A and B are shown apart, each in its own frame.
Chain A
Amino acid sequence: MIGEWKIPFFLVVRYLRRGSKWTFSFIVLLMSIAFVNLIFVTALFNGIIEAVNNQVIDTHMGHIYMLPPEGSEYLDGIGAVSDRIQSLEKVRGVSPHLYVPGRIMYKNISGNWQIVAIDPDKEKTVTNVSKNMIEGAYLEKGDTDQIILGRQIAGGKNVEMNALSFRGARTGESVVLDVGGFRKTFTIKGIFHTRFLDTDKRAFISRTFLDETIPGMSGVASSMIIRIDKTGDEKKVIRLLEKMKIPGKLFSWNEVAGYLDSVTKSFTHINTLLTMVGMLIAAITIFIVIYVDLSSRRQQIGVLRAIGIRPSLIRFTYVLQTLVYSMAGILIGLLVLLHGIAPWMEKHPFEMPIGDAALVIDYHDLLFRAVLIIIVAVLSGLTPVFIATKGKILDAIFNR
């Protein structure tokens, strides 16, 4: 009885070795395309979501956002607080932000953009604004009359919010900062473009100016942004900071950027929908191809039954064959994906207004979809074989 089970393997090896190479190649190619399609769309969406998330973290608020404790307008003693936070092993950088409530005027245009006073060196440890200068240079600690503007403030041709901007302010030109009637002229030292709209609508000045001009503001901040080693560890670090009784309200970046969370959720919903449609199309395509291939073998199935081969062995033979098809398809798909498309996308990311998206492959997801392809293929193979082994032998033999 056990020896009988060698028959499916005996047959499948020969079917594959001596059967039509074109049919085999076509089915395997189709399986691999279906598999790559299922993974690619999801991986691209994951890449877009990751790009959006990274933009928030890298250009705007780091991983953890700290606000003054309830009832306080500012965080006090930021030097000491920064040092305590920085003492944690997982923390890579801390940058205090002080929002300056003022207007910026350029020629005859003015606007209420967010003006942030920063320690330029500390800011470098949290965000990458310094690396996104498209014109001029980044701030230095001693800059007292220099300002850097986001691209959406400077404006210019092809700038998304040009109508609301300075419509083409350039490095070296002057702007006037008006804080409750107190006016000071700044030279535009540089213009940055992070491609994250909220950051590109900001202007940065050095804290040195404020500390010198308003000594009372020295050592206070409106918020602090914290960068940690690994995205995903925010809650752990927050718990540690809370244990250290750091005076302030601590939030993870995704709690603060709620609107981005909803964007991410929308992407996730679209992704799920596209995945379902992709799976349905893949399932139907695989079903049709396998069904047609195995239907052409209906007569052979009838003959195998007529000569006394057990139906379960016949069914297993063709299931085994579809398993080989699907696994070969998945293997080729994986090779194309992991050694072709993914590295290529890494070098040539998908450029979006919000950031560059490469493929982000979730290996659990990959496994799930591979198993799904195998299940669909096996079911597709089983259906015609089941019909051929359950119906009348003569109907199978005469293909009627």
Chain B
Amino acid sequence: MTAVTGNMKELIVIDAITKTYHLGEVRVEALKGVSLGIHEEEFTIIVGRNGSGKSTLLYQLGLLDRPDSGSIFFEGREVSRISDRHRRHLRLTYLGYIFQDYALISELTALENVMVPAMMLKNRTDAREKARSLLERVGLGARLNHLTRQLSGGEQQKVAIARAMVNDPRVIIADEPTSNLDSIAAKDVLKTFEMINNEHGHAIVMVTHEQEETMYAKKLIRLSDGRMQ
């Protein structure tokens, strides 16, 4: 299931996925048959209110969870039912995931945090060089050897962006990356996303509940009550 829209290849296809959570006796239908496509070089922003299912959708996209039904295709290959080993490999090489709370390792410096996933594929020297160049690109060239606790929230999120980019993924997924940041830092992070989308050509899928951030989107998806609007 691969399509080409104009010049842009369809990287990810989500086809009628559903996801239901059971919180004790309460049944929460987080996704009710969502379908969408992610194209290369696209900056997709998913918006919706709290509880609309946008984070759940992102977990399915990021291969951090499996849908109850429906299918997910990465460049035509069905990935929702493949083994954990293959999903891990796709998370390492095909996807870059950015968490809301940065999820950096506090004992590592900015450079070392970015190096870790790169060391799975490259030798240490190459991983270091790649991490250094990405951190310089996101404006943290002077903060390479700072521990994460010595960085501001915006800087930590930029480290997380560099870490997501380090293995040259096709798609970068960001889960409310600005929600813990002040407006200036948030703008800075969004500009960074815009830059990496334009200059590096990574497809970006970002979830937010801030309406004003949708101005960065090349494609906007609205979710409400587990359905696309």
Please give the residue numbers on chain A whose beta carbons come within 8 Å of chain B beta carbons, in ascending order: 3-4, 6-7, 10-11, 14-15, 17-19, 299-300, 303-311, 392-394, 397
Contact = CB atoms under 8 A, between A and B. Distances in A.
Contacts, number: 73
B120 A309 contact: yes
A120 B123 CA distance: 81
Contact of A7 (B64, B97, B107, B119): B119
A33 B115 CA distance: 38
A11 B119 CA distance: 11
A123 to B, nearest CB: 70
A397 B103 contact: yes
Given A14-B108, A303-B99, A394-B64, A308 B93 contact: yes
A245 to B, nearest CB: 77
A7 B124 CA distance: 9
Nearest to A7: B119
Interface in B115-151: 115-117, 119-120, 122-124, 147
A394 B97 CA distance: 13
- Which of B65, B89, B99, B103 has the largest number of chain A CB atoms within 10 A? B103
A4 B119 contact: yes
Main secondary structure of the interface of A (DSSP, over half): helix
Interface string B95-108: 00101000101011
Contacts of B91: 306-308
Contact of B124 (A3, A303, A308): A3
Contacts of B124: 3, 6, 10
- Which of A17, A19, A393 has the largest number of chain B CB atoms within 10 A? A393
6 contacts: A10-B119, A14-B112, A306-B99, A308-B167, A309-B92, A393-B64
List the 7 shortest-distance A-B pairs measured between CB atoms, nearest first.
Answer: A308-B92, A18-B107, A308-B91, A303-B103, A307-B117, A14-B107, A393-B64
A7 B116 contact: yes
A308 B117 contact: yes
B65 A18 contact: no
B99 A7 contact: no
Interface of B: 59, 62, 64-65, 88-89, 91-93, 97, 99, 103, 105, 107-108, 112, 115-117, 119-120, 122-124, 147, 163, 167
A305 B99 CA distance: 13
A306 B62 contact: yes
B163 A307 contact: yes
Given A306-B99, A306-B103, 4 more contacts: A4-B119, A11-B105, A300-B105, A393-B65
B65 A307 contact: no
B97 A306 contact: yes
A12 B88 CA distance: 22
A308 B163 contact: no
Given A7-B116, A392-B65, A394-B65, A307 B92 contact: yes
A246 to B, nearest CB: 73
Contacts of A304: 105, 116
